[in-house]
A = this chain, B = another copy of it.
C-alpha cells in the first residue's frame, strides 16, 4: 500500500508542528476546521494549554502532541519545565496519551539539562519521534480495521476517530470496497458533522450525517452494518473511554446485534487496570447551551457536559490496534506481543 492518504487529519504533521523561526507551536484550529482553515500560533506554554482547553486541538493523540511540543516553549530551567509540564497535564484529565507524553518529554528535558545539552531540542526530538510513530500506529491500525469491512458496508461512527479512521477508509477504498460512512454530528462540538465528514470528503467516501439521537432507529431499519469509533483511553480489562454518546450507541448496537469495533491505536493504558481509575472530565455546561456559536437553549436553563463516557467490554466486538485485533477482555495481550519494530510509548507491564 504505497498510496498517500489525502485526508489532512491522517497525518498529524499537517495539523500541528513546532516552527523554529517563530519559536512557536502551530495548530490547525479544529474548532473551526473545515469551515475555516486557520492555523493558530502559540508562542507560550500557557497559549498551548489554552488551545487544548478551548478544543483548538482535540483528540487523544493530537492534543498530547500539541502539549508535548508546548513543553519546548518552557523557561529552560528545571523549575520552568516542571511548572510547564504541570500546566499542560492539567488541561484534560481523561485521555491517556497526554499523561504519557508529558512525563516522558519532561524527563528528556531534565536529562538534557543535567548533561548540559539543549533541553528544547531534546523535547522536540522526542515529541516529533512520537508524532512519527503515532502516524505509523494510525496507519497500521486503520489497515487492520479495513480487513473487518466488506464491500458496501454502512459504517456508523461517532465524533472523529482520527487518523486511523482515515487510513481504514483509504485502505478499504484501495481494496475496492465501497464504504458508506454514517457520522453522528456529535454535539456540542459537531466533530462528526465537521471533521469526520470532511475526512470522508477528502477521501472520496460517501458520508451521511445524522443527529446523535438517530443511531438506534437507523439500526432498527437495517441501515447500519457496523459501529466503529476510537477511544481516548482503553483499560487493561477492556473498557473504553470515548466522546460522550459512544456508550449509548454501543448499547443500541448490542441490542440490535450490530458489532462495535474500537480503533484502539497503540493499545490499552498499562497504568489503568479498570474503569474505576478513569476520571471523566466535566467541561463547562455552557458549551451545551450553544451550537456553532449561537445560543440554542433558553436563558435560565442549566446544562451539564460530561465530555466522555465509558463502554464496558461486553458491548465491544473487538479492539483494533496497530498489532492486530483483540477481543476486549483480552486486550491486555497487546502488551505481551512483540512490538513489531516500533518503539513503544508505554512501559510494558506483565499482565
Identify which of B183, B207, B247, B303 contacts A220 (C-beta below 8 A). Answer: B247
Q: Which chain B residues lie closer than 8 Å to A252 at the CB level?
A: 248, 251-252
A296 interface residue per 8 A CB criterion: yes
Number of copies: 2
Min CB–CB distance A6 → chain B (angstroms): 14
Q: Which chain B residues lie closer than 8 Å to A296 at the CB level?
A: 185, 190, 193-194, 291-292
Interface class of chain A by DSSP: mixed
For window 196-235 of A, CB contacts with B under 8 Å fall at 197-198, 200-201, 206-218, 220-221
Q: List 20 A-B contacts (CB under 8 A).
A: A184-B213, A185-B288, A190-B291, A193-B289, A194-B296, A201-B298, A201-B300, A207-B302, A211-B288, A212-B212, A213-B213, A214-B245, A214-B304, A214-B309, A216-B247, A217-B248, A220-B310, A221-B306, A248-B252, A251-B251
Q: Establish whether residues A210 and B297, one from each chain, have CB atoms under 8 Å apart when the complex forms.
A: no
CA distance A306 to B309 in the complex (A): 26
CA distance A207 to B289 in the complex (A): 12
CA distance A211 to B295 in the complex (A): 14
Q: Establish whether residues A309 and B201, one from each chain, have CB atoms under 8 Å apart when the complex forms.
A: no
A140 interface residue per 8 A CB criterion: no
CA distance A295 to B294 in the complex (A): 11
Q: Which residue of B lies closest to A245 (CB)?
A: B213
CA distance A297 to B306 in the complex (A): 23
Binding site for B on A (CB under 8 A): 34-35, 158, 183-188, 190, 193-194, 197-198, 200-201, 206-218, 220-221, 243-245, 247-249, 251-252, 255, 280, 285, 288-289, 291-298, 300-306, 309-310
CA distance A273 to B213 in the complex (A): 26
Q: Which chain B residues lie closer than 8 Å to A211 at the CB level?
A: 187-188, 212, 244-245, 288, 305
CA distance A294 to B34 in the complex (A): 15
